[in-house]
Amino acid sequence: MKIKLHTLKGKKGRMKLFYLGLSLIVIGAIMVYGTRIIVKRFNITTIKGILTVKIGGLLVTILGGVFIFLAQFPEKLQFLRIV
């Protein structure tokens, strides 16, 4: 997936980046907390494989968090802002 920076300018671009980050956080959480289902589905039996799924989920979640912080909060969700 190639993202061009000029398409991410303005409110719509920040919203896209925010929702991309939110989606990545959800996917990462599913990878970390749903490891048992993923391991059974893909027949992963080694400890290295299980740890790879968990670490991959952690990295995807961190990337999603970075995208959210880069995008800032949309105006509709300003009431959720803590900092």
Please give the pLDDT value at position 29: 96
Q: What is the pTM of this model?
A: 0.73
Give the sign of the dihedral formed by CA 4, CA 7, CA 11, CA 12: negative
Evaluate whether 29 touches 23 at the Cβ level (below 8 Å).
no
Please give the pLDDT value at position 69: 82
Please give the pLDDT value at position 70: 80
Residuewise pLDDT in 10s, the chain (83 residues): 555 555 556 777 777 888 899 999 999 999 999 999 999 999 999 999 999 999 999 999 999 998 888 877 666 666 666 65
